[in-house]
Amino acid sequence: MRVLASAPAKIILFGEHSVVYGKPAIAAAINLRTYVRAEFNDSGRIKIEAHDIKTPGLIVSFSENEIYFESDYGKAAEVLSYVRQAIELVREEADVNGRGITVSITSQIPVGAGLGSSAAVAVATIGAVSKLLGLELTNEEIGKLGHRVELLVQGASSGIDPTVSAIGGIIHYEKGKFEHLPFMELPIVVGYTGSSGSTKELVAMVRRTYEEMPEIVEPILASMGKVVEKARETLLSELEEGQKLARLGRLMNINHGLLDALGVSTKKLSELVYAARTAGALGAKITGAGGGGCMYALAPERQSEVATAITIAGGTPMITEISREGLRIEEVLP
């Protein structure tokens, strides 16, 4: 039997980092996907083929406590830890051991770019392997297992990324609970700096600043939470579309400033943010952990101008759409 599953990337519209401290946040799934194929093999081992990780042709196998490198690349085991933890959690749930499984991954999502590649790879792996092992899990349950994977690998995770990747659409999320917000096509442009940031390290960096200066950092996080509540109110309001987007844009700019205050922006990210605003975007901010990676801009009727401005500023623009669908089982072959 062979199963192919896919899960989407996401944008954090508002509230990254503060969401780790229990404040609310809003995220949307987007139409870039990670595909995971799972099938049984006769070797009795778990074999992971990660085609997009920067160590080309890397194949790592492990069974029980042993890891087999079929090509020997330095950080391979660490890089594959989301996939490995995802497989192990499902095997625990299914209470099966012994049968070899091969997992093969291809992805459209840039890695370490704030678009939730870690959550998408965890969710798609859990989706494919659980189906292979005959477990009937809902997408919501798979999102919760994806959260456990992020917690195991990163040490800290709010769970918003695996949740939105599993269920799709636009969600408001707070302390493990989510609410779907009405679906709307947002005129967004994503700008990729070309460099990456590690979520684990950036979340730890914010934690250190918080512990050192709680009296300064706590009000910043609280303000971010208020920005999110204002954005939710705006999305749910009866305001006319143009006014709604203008308000959201202003809130994005405030949110970006607060993220900059936390120290997670970079020169390049801020250059792309200002280039987008100058080209007519209503708002622009980081998405995800920062330290490199991506920003996004809200640019009704100005998407191509903003994309050009991002290119001139040295970034790579991506005009993406919100994805209604989360985790998807693409095919099951006998």
Ligand X SMILES: Nc1ncnc2c1ncn2[C@@H]1O[C@H](COP(=O)(O)OP(=O)(O)O)[C@@H](O)[C@H]1O
Tokens representing 8 are: 């989407």
Asked if residue 61 binds Mg ion (CB under 5 A), the reply is no
Q: Which lies closer to ligand X via its Cβ, residue 146 or residue 169?
A: 146
**264 annotated as belonging to a binding site for a ligand:** no
34, 61, 118, 130: which one binds Mg ion (CB under 5 A): 118
85, 130, 158, 265: which one binds ligand PMV (CB under 6 A): 158
Measured in degrees and rounded to the nearest 5, phi and psi for residue 235 equal -60, -30
Asked if residue 139 binds Mg ion (CB under 5 A), the reply is no
Angle between helix axes 139-154 and 81-94 (nearest 10 degrees) is 130
Separation between Cα atoms, residue 155 and residue 160, nearest integer Å: 15
Asked if residue 113 binds ligand X (CB under 6 A), the reply is yes
18, 102, 117, 265: which one binds ligand X (CB under 6 A): 117
Asked if residue 118 binds ligand PMV (CB under 6 A), the reply is yes
Q: Which residue has the tokens 């996907």?
A: 33
Asked if residue 225 binds ligand PMV (CB under 6 A), the reply is no
**115 annotated as belonging to a binding site for a ligand:** yes
Asked if residue 128 binds ligand PMV (CB under 6 A), the reply is no
Separation between Cα atoms, residue 287 and residue 112, nearest integer Å: 11
34, 85, 102, 323: which one binds ligand X (CB under 6 A): 34
Q: Is 161 a catalytic residue?
A: yes
Query: How many degrees, rounded to 5, is the angle at CA 150 between CA 147 and CA 156?
Result: 100
Angle between helix axes 160-167 and 117-132 (nearest 10 degrees) is 60
Smallest distance, ligand X to C-beta of residue 161, A: 7
Asked if residue 253 binds ligand X (CB under 6 A), the reply is no
**284 annotated as belonging to a binding site for a ligand:** no
Region at 229 (left for phi over 0; alpha for psi -120 to 50; beta for the rest): alpha
Q: Which lies closer to ligand PMV via its Cβ, residue 48 or residue 206?
A: 206
Helix H or strand E segment including 67: strand 66-69
Pick from Mg ion, ligand X, ligand PMV, none: which does 160 bind, CB < 5 to 8 A by kind?
Answer: ligand PMV
Contact window for ligand PMV (CB under 6 A) among 54-62, 155-163, 188-196, 303-311: 155-163
Least Cα distance to 26 among 227, 219, 196, 197 occurs for: 227
Pick from ligand X, ligand PMV, Mg ion, none: which does 53 bind, CB < 5 to 8 A by kind?
Answer: ligand X
Pick from ligand PMV, Mg ion, ligand X, none: which does 295 bind, CB < 5 to 8 A by kind?
Answer: none
Q: Which lies closer to ligand PMV via its Cβ, residue 61 or residue 193?
A: 193
Tokens representing 231 are: 């954005």
Identify the three-state secondary structure at position 20: helix
5, 13, 29, 105: which one binds ligand X (CB under 6 A): 105
Q: Which residue has the tokens 């308000």?
A: 247
Half-sphere exposure of 9 (CA within 13 A, CB side): 23
Separation between Cα atoms, residue 172 and residue 320, nearest integer Å: 20
Residues 279-298 vs ligand PMV: string with x where CB under 6 A? ---------xx---------
DSSP-assigned states of every residue in 209-277: HHHH-HHHHHHHHHHHHHHHHHHHHHHHS---HHHHHHHHHHHHHHHHHHHHHHT---HHHHHHHHHHH
Asked if residue 154 binds Mg ion (CB under 5 A), the reply is no
Separation between Cα atoms, residue 30 and residue 7, nearest integer Å: 10
Binding residues: 110-120
- What are the residue numbers of the active site? 161
Positions in the binding site for ligand X (CB under 6 A)? 34, 50, 52-53, 79-83, 105, 107, 111-118, 121, 198-199, 288-289
Positions in the binding site for ligand PMV (CB under 6 A)? 12, 16-17, 19-20, 114-116, 118, 157-158, 160-161, 199, 203, 288-289
Binding residues for ATP: 110-120
